[in-house]
Amino acid sequence: MAPGQNAVAGLVVVAALAAGSTLISRVPGPDEIARQPFLHSGQVGTAIHLRTGEIVVEGVQASTRVRQGATTATTSAHWLVITVRYTAADTPSTLAGMTLESRDGRSYSLARPFHTACGVGQPGVTITCSMPFEVPAAALEGARLRVPAALLGGGAGDDVANVDLGIDAAAATRLEQSTDPLRIEAVTVVGSPGTGASP
């Protein structure tokens, strides 16, 4: 083989090795795969089944003021208040650790000082609760609610509800213009075994 051909062959081998190395580095390892959440996608009004129970996002509202009991909070951004219905499955479980995910991938946690946890749901007992997220206007359009099946671990390797809140550009504009104060209700039992109420 001529020297020029040797050089070309050498470059091809080096390029192939580099490409292979890059490909291998992008393949997730067993630990990373095990930590991937099991996403269960849905939208407002549809039931999403997690291993710990069933969740339904019932409504989405927004305002610059929210109130719970004697506490009122205002913001120069927006309060996005999400009402959720939850029915625990086989064992008592807490609906907690949820986050709001914006279209650009940012994550927003529930706001303090409000008592926003849904509390412990008993098996077969349906409860509702309202949760406020303080977000900028830019985070409204395309926002999704992510709810892990269990608080610990943040959903790693576990069921996670991924709810499309249905906020398109027009809905985002309407929510952005809402200023009427919203009341955050305490946890409410809306159905339980033997009451005849539907979950």
Bigger pLDDT: 114 vs 110: 110
> Among all chains, which residue has been given the structure tokens 């219905």?
85
pTM (predicted TM-score): 0.76
Query: Which stretch of DSSP H or E encloses residue 15?
Result: helix 3-26
Peptide bond into 199 cis (omega under 30): no
Three-point CA angle 147, 82, 78, nearest 5°: 115
What is the average per-residue pLDDT within 75-79? 92
pLDDT of the residue at 10 = 57
pLDDT tier, 191 (very low <50, low <70, confident <90, very high otherwise): confident
Bigger pLDDT: 125 vs 196: 125
Each residue's pLDDT tens digit, 61-74: 999 999 888 888 89
pLDDT of the residue at 198 = 45
- Give the CA-trace dihedral at 190, 191, 196, 199, to 10 degrees: 110
CATH architecture of the domain 37-191 equals Sandwich (2.60)
Distance, CA of 115 to chain centre:
19
On the question of pLDDT at 171 being above 70, the answer is yes
Each residue's pLDDT tens digit, 136-165: 999 999 999 999 987 655 656 789 999 999
pLDDT of the residue at 24 = 53
β-pairing, 38-43 vs 53-68, is unpaired
Three-point CA angle 136, 141, 142, nearest 5°: 120
Give the C-alpha separation, 55 to 49, whole Å.
7
Among 28-32, 180-184, 189-193, which stretch is predicted with the lowest mean pLDDT? 28-32
Six token digits for residue 190: 């809306």
Each residue's pLDDT tens digit, 115-127: 556 778 889 899 9
Give the C-alpha separation, 40 to 151, whole Å.
16
Among 14-28, 61-75, 83-97, 134-148, which stretch is predicted with the lowest mean pLDDT? 14-28
pLDDT of the residue at 68 = 84
